[in-house]
Homo-oligomer: A and B are copies of this chain.
Amino acid sequence: MDTATRALEIAERLAQTRGFNGFSYADIADELEITKASLHYHFESKADLGLALIERYTDGFKGALAAITGDASTRLRRYAKLYEDVLVRDRMCLCGMLAAEYSTLPRSMQDAVRRFFDMNDEWLTRTLDRGRSAGVLGFDGTALEAARVLTAGFEGAMLLARSYSEPARFAVTAKRLLAHLNGSTAARGSRAKQSRAAARPVRRAAAHR
């Protein structure tokens, strides 16, 4: 692997764990065992490095999405798994992290972050629409709205799970977010407005406080 790529892999890990403003050329150079000056040969400025980082990440994600098969319900579970795979490596979604730092980023990086989320919106919207048409999924409103609930929920769940070092928090939340779309479960069919707590004691275990 060439030096530029190795630099990107190190930078990616640092950006996902500490944020783009949380690491420096020195951190990367030290790990590569080259000097900061040499690193500037590969990436003239940190903004250039950052842009390359996002575009590489987006391409990788696009490839992962393209590799997802199955019916809509399965696809969504696999989509959630992509996030979970990032989290279990103790990382935040790169673009979720950059979204937090958004106002401090150079314009080129801001635009690239948006493109990542736009890509997610498109993939999810398509998947949700097809799932609903096929009768596999059920949800109100537009598919785009439902897509954004998922993205917000997944990104937020990652953010919080990381603060507690509890990847399971993500898994539980992701599962429930997907359950809202899964019209075919027994739970949905049997649930009513009125208090059914007493009727389903098994699901009430371990409530907080």
Interface residues of A (CB under 8 A from B): 17-19, 21-22, 92, 96-97, 99-104, 110, 113-114, 117, 121-122, 125-126, 129, 132-135, 138-149, 151-157, 159-160, 162-164, 169, 172-173, 176-177, 179-180, 183-184, 187-189, 191-197, 203-209
A159 vs B158: C-alpha distance when bound (angstroms): 12
**Is the pair B138, A176 in contact by a Cβ cutoff of 8 Å?**
no
**Is the pair B152, A160 in contact by a Cβ cutoff of 8 Å?**
yes
List chain B residues, Cβ under 8 A from A114. 163-164
A197 vs B21: C-alpha distance when bound (angstroms): 45
Main secondary structure of the interface of A (DSSP, over half): helix
Choose among B162, B183, B191, B197 the residue that contacts A99 (Cβ–Cβ < 8 A). Answer: B162
List chain B residues, Cβ under 8 A from A153. 149, 152-153, 156, 177
User: Quick one: given A148-B169, A155-B159, A180-B180, are A195 and B132 in contact (CB under 8 Å)?
Assistant: yes
User: Quick one: given A148-B160, A157-B156, A162-B102, are A208 and B173 in contact (CB under 8 Å)?
Assistant: no
**Is the pair B22, A145 in contact by a Cβ cutoff of 8 Å?**
no
**Is the pair B99, A132 in contact by a Cβ cutoff of 8 Å?**
no
* A93 CB → nearest B CB, Å: 10
Choose among B100, B151, B157 the residue that contacts A148 (Cβ–Cβ < 8 A). Answer: B157
